[in-house]
């Protein structure tokens, strides 16, 4: 099932294995940021004569990784001038203290906490993996999933058997004369998409952008093996080499699956030609952020007039209800896809589907497939030398597949009982600050302010974990069937999602699992969501004062709240409907301020190369929503902190660790984004992700904060206190 068109925003980039595309602060699901792609296929439950469960896997190596403190004095460079370079002042020694492990693309506080949470999940799963007659059904599921995933000897021995039925169906495509049987192909694409294979396009469920009470089907572009369209089209030396590397990778995967090297190379080159044609007609990453460009509700007859009547075969195969209408998110994509399916030779289509299946299930195929898949998506694209250890990957695969099962145990053990109430107090403080901010801004008319207040008042707050846990009793997990478990879990989730089409919206549903180190705002739900996984040090440290916590998690709260009013979120009303509630004059004012912010970030060079043609600048339009949320969120958090200090009679000038309250606030915020990263990872992020690289999320925000210069005594026109700054909220 495909990701929902752009309606969710997170605070961090979403790793390849996360559960949903979300407007999150740092989308860091407890799924590894390494780039193994997922897939599951319907496989029969084990027979009664199945072998006994394997012994419980060895626990994670020790000594365990420890969380960062709320205020990390050791990462600071006190020789730096905060008024000149706040990032260096707050994070100047972070790299020396935190070298990048070979199995990570970078290190930052999110990744440190991800590693801590991985250890905690591993402890839960190692215990659950021990066969016992007293295990609960939930413990059996998470334990057996983990055991099977960890048993690489059995995975290697199984070879391609777990996916052989699907490979056979791909090989049987056609009617014997070299032509595609469209009904047969549609059925096979549906079967593959049901288990997570990104074949040709995306299909799924979403709330109707213009009637958020409705759940409808959507269909959109997809099927590219590289991250997004411009990887196929850019002309720099590095991009040309990346395309050659991709073709070599596809050929290697096909060769491992049994093709001759010559045939595999020919097929891989043809796949590149076909994907390039699809890329040329796909929307770019900036346009895919715009809900007005990705909402085209139409009768199914209008859609199938382009794609053909065999779409019903696809619906049946993917287990979708027959729909009478859908959101055709990318209408310009379908004529070229139809052309490619009509004109591309059947051998290329078969090779393409084989590759898509292999790369999706690679993590649970013999190690040669897993290693090759990682080599391209992890090492070449992101510069990561080594795979994460299997224990860590499997711990997070369980969370990605059945995260609300393992999440129940995680919450009981690691989410402090009073954290929910304390977080809610902070959320209410920051919501009150936004209310005051709306009242005092001078560029918005009274009529639009009324609508803004209505939307703010309607925001729902979700903290920690869902009120009701999902039921996975119908999902079969076997202790010795890693690939089957992956495929069945994907199919289960696909069916759960598509079953929502035509049903009432469940406003209690979460799009992230409880152990996720991230947070997000959902425009159609109009809610902000903070999983238990991020409510740990350093982001929320119960041992720290308000200054540090409002700077850390308070800025995260403000970030998510501001997403409801960024360039994308502002288009949705209090009920979550795509609705133009702005006067023309107010919209003009908003756009001018947004342009200021986009231009500011577009001036930042994120990657500098020997050949200037290969330099990469931040795309200010792609990152506008996240940059708006960073800037507005920090301002709101500071306003809330000042009010909290006033209400609680806290002396802002009193020093702790040598810093005043406001100074501690800004240092804590800046340390959210301390980062040691590989240039390949930065390049990959800047080219496709709506989040700016971490160091620009400090200085690029600080220069627009009116409270910063007074806190550090900056002189007028200091680099961090320029005369001209950008501000929306």
* pLDDT at 396 exceeding the cut of 60: yes
* pLDDT at 620 exceeding the cut of 60: yes
* pLDDT at 51 exceeding the cut of 80: no
Mean pLDDT, range 693-705, rounded to an integer: 97
Instruction: Quote the distance between the C-alpha of residue 122 and its chain's center.
Output: 22
Alpha-carbon distance of 341 to 536, in angstroms, equals: 49
Alpha-carbon distance of 376 to 53, in angstroms, equals: 33
pTM for the whole structure = 0.92
* pLDDT at 591 exceeding the cut of 60: yes
* pLDDT at 227 exceeding the cut of 60: yes
Task: Of 608, 488, 472, give the one whose Cα is nearest residue 138.
Answer: 472
Q: What is the DSSP letter of 378?
A: I
- The H or E element spanning position 325 is strand 325-328
What integer pLDDT is reported at residue 531 of this predicted model? 97
Alpha-carbon distance of 496 to 510, in angstroms, equals: 13
Mean pLDDT, range 169-192, rounded to an integer: 87
List C-alpha distances in Å: 459 to 118, 423, 554, 575, 669.
Answer: 31, 15, 16, 9, 24
**Cβ distance 632 to 640 under 8 Å?**
no
Q: Using CA of residue 642, residue 645, residue 648, residue 653, what is the dihedral sign? A: negative
What integer pLDDT is reported at residue 65 of this predicted model? 86
* pLDDT at 41 exceeding the cut of 60: no
* pLDDT at 98 exceeding the cut of 50: yes
What integer pLDDT is reported at residue 148 of this predicted model? 98
Secondary structure of 490-503 in HEC code, one letter for each residue: HHHHHHHHHCCCCC
Residues 6+ apart with CB under 8 A from 48: none
Q: Which domains does the chain have, with CATH numbers?
A: 1-132+366-729 (3.40.390.10), 162-365 (1.10.1380.10)
Q: What are 491-543's pLDDT values in tens digits?
A: 999 999 999 999 999 999 999 999 999 999 999 999 999 999 999 999 999 88
User: At 385, is the secondary structure helix, strand, or coil?
Assistant: coil
* pLDDT at 692 exceeding the cut of 90: yes
Alpha-carbon distance of 170 to 299, in angstroms, equals: 31
* pLDDT at 458 exceeding the cut of 90: yes
Query: How big is the chain by its Cα radius of gyration, in Å?
Result: 25
For the ranges 24-33, 107-116, 362-371, the lowest mean pLDDT is seen at 24-33
What integer pLDDT is reported at residue 16 of this predicted model? 35
What integer pLDDT is reported at residue 419 of this predicted model? 83
Q: Which residue has the tokens 């409808």?
A: 216
What integer pLDDT is reported at residue 5 of this predicted model? 62
- Residue 133, classified by CB atoms within 10 Å of its CB into exposed (0-12), middle (13-18) or buried (19+), is exposed
What integer pLDDT is reported at residue 6 of this predicted model? 53
What integer pLDDT is reported at residue 26 of this predicted model? 39
> β-strand 23-25 against 201-208: which pairing, if any?
unpaired
Residues 6+ apart with CB under 8 A from 658: none
**Cβ distance 167 to 173 under 8 Å?**
no
Q: pLDDT band at 589, cuts 50/70/90?
A: very high
* pLDDT at 30 exceeding the cut of 90: no
Look up residue 394 and give its two tokens: 């499997």
- Residue 81, classified by CB atoms within 10 Å of its CB into exposed (0-12), middle (13-18) or buried (19+), is middle
What integer pLDDT is reported at residue 3 of this predicted model? 65
- Report the half-sphere exposure of 169 (CA within 13 A, side-chain side): 15
Q: pLDDT band at 35, cuts 50/70/90?
A: very low
Q: pLDDT band at 49, cuts 50/70/90?
A: very low
Alpha-carbon distance of 260 to 251, in angstroms, equals: 9
What integer pLDDT is reported at residue 46 of this predicted model? 29
Mean pLDDT, range 49-76, rounded to an integer: 68
Q: Which residue has the tokens 């997004």?
A: 228
Alpha-carbon distance of 514 to 537, in angstroms, equals: 16
Mean pLDDT, range 220-240, rounded to an integer: 95
For the ranges 154-158, 459-463, 609-613, the lowest mean pLDDT is seen at 609-613
* pLDDT at 417 exceeding the cut of 50: yes
Look up residue 54 and give its two tokens: 């394997």
Look up residue 495 and give its two tokens: 């069916």
CA dihedral 201, 205, 207, 211 (to 10 degrees): 80
* pLDDT at 562 exceeding the cut of 70: yes
Look up residue 196 and give its two tokens: 């997570």
What integer pLDDT is reported at residue 2 of this predicted model? 66
**Cβ distance 31 to 18 under 8 Å?**
yes
**Cβ distance 190 to 41 under 8 Å?**
no
What integer pLDDT is reported at residue 314 of this predicted model? 97
Alpha-carbon distance of 73 to 670, in angstroms, equals: 12
Q: What rounded mean pLDDT belongs to the chain?
A: 91
What integer pLDDT is reported at residue 60 of this predicted model? 54
**Cβ distance 563 to 8 under 8 Å?**
no
Look up residue 721 and give its two tokens: 């206190």
Mean pLDDT, range 22-34, rounded to an integer: 34
List C-alpha distances in Å: 576 to 36, 444, 579, 698.
Answer: 33, 21, 9, 31
**Cβ distance 94 to 75 under 8 Å?**
yes
How far separated are the first and last CA of the chain, in Å rounded? 36
């Amino acid at each position: 099932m495909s990701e929902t068109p752009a309606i969710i925003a997170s605070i961090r980039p979403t790793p390849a294995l996360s559960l949903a595309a979300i407007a999150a602060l740092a989308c860091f699901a407890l799924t590894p940021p390494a780039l193994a792609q997922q897939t599951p296929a319907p496989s029969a439950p084990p027979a009664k004569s199945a072998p006994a469960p394997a012994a419980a896997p060895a626990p994670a190596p020790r000594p365990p990784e420890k969380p960062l403190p709320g205020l990390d004095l050791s990462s600071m460079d006190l020789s730096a001038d905060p008024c000149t370079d706040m990032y260096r002042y707050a994070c100047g020694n972070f790299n020396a203290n935190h070298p990048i492990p070979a199995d990570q693309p970078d290190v930052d506080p999110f990744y440190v906490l991800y590693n801590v949470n991985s250890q905690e999940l591993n402890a839960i799963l190692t215990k659950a993996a021990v066969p016992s007659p007293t295990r609960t059904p939930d413990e059996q599921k998470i334990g057996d999933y983990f055991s099977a995933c960890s048993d690489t000897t059995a995975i290697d021995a199984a070879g391609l058997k777990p996916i052989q039925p699907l490979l056979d169906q791909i090989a049987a495509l056609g009617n014997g004369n070299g032509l595609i049987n469209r009904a047969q192909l549609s059925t096979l694409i549906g079967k593959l998409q049901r288990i997570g294979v990104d074949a040709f396009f995306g299909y799924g469920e979403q709330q109707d952008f213009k009637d958020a009470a409705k759940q409808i089907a959507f269909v959109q572009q997809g099927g590219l093996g590289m991250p997004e369209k411009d990887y196929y089209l850019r002309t720099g030396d590095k991009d040309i080499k990346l395309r050659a590397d991709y073709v070599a990778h596809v050929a290697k995967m096909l060769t491992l699956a049994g093709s001759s090297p010559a045939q595999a190379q020919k097929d891989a080159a043809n796949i590149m030609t076909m994907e390039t044609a699809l890329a040329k007609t796909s929307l770019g990453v900036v346009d895919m952020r715009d809900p007005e460009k990705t909402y085209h509700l139409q009768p199914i007859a209008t859609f199938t007039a382009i794609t053909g009547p065999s779409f019903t075969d696809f619906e049946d195969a993917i287990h979708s209800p027959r729909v009478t209408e859908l959101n055709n998110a990318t209408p310009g994509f379908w004529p070229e896809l139809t052309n490619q399916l009509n004109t591309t030779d059947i051998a290329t289509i078969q090779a393409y589907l084989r590759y898509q299946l292999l790369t999706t299930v690679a993590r649970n195929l013999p190690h040669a497939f897993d290693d090759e898949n990682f080599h391209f998506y992890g090492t070449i694209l992101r510069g990561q030398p080594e795979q994460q250890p299997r224990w860590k990957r499997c711990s997070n695969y369980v969370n990605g597949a059945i995260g609300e099962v393992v999440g129940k145990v995680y919450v009981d053990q690691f989410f402090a009982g009073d954290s929910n109430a304390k977080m809610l107090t902070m959320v209410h403080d920051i919501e009150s600050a936004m209310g005051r901010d709306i009242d005092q801004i001078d560029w918005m008319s009274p009529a639009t302010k009324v609508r803004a207040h209505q939307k703010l008042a309607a925001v729902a707050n979700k903290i920690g974990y869902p009120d009701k846990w999902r039921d996975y009793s119908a999902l079969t997990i076997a202790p010795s069937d890693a690939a089957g478990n992956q495929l069945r879990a994907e199919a289960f989730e696909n069916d759960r999602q598509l079953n929502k089409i035509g049903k009432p919206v469940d406003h209690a549903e979460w799009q992230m699992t409880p152990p996720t180190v991230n947070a997000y705002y959902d425009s159609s739900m109009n809610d902000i969501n903070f999983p238990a996984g991020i409510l740990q040090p350093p982001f929320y440290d119960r041992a720290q004062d308000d200054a540090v916590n409002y700077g850390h998690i308070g800025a995260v709260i403000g970030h998510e709240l501001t997403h409801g009013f960024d360039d994308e979120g502002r288009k949705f009303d209090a009920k979550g409907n795509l609705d133009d509630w702005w006067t023309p004059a107010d919209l003009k004012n908003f756009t001018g301020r947004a342009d200021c912010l986009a231009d500011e970030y577009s001036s930042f060079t994120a990657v500098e190369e020997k050949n200037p043609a290969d330099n990469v600048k931040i795309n200010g339009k792609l990152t506008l929503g996240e940059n708006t949320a960073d800037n507005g969120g920090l301002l709101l958090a500071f306003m809330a902190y000042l009010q909290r200090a006033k209400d609680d009679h806290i002396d802002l000038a009193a020093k702790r660790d040598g810093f005043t309250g406001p100074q501690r606030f800004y240092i804590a915020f800046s340390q959210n984004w301390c980062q040691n990263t590989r240039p390949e990872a930065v390049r990959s992020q800047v080219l496709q992700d709506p989040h700016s690289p971490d160091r620009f999320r400090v200085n690029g925000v600080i220069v627009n904060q009116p409270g910063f210069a007074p806190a550090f005594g900056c002189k007028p026109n200091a680099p961090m206190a320029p005369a001209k700054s950008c501000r929306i909220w």
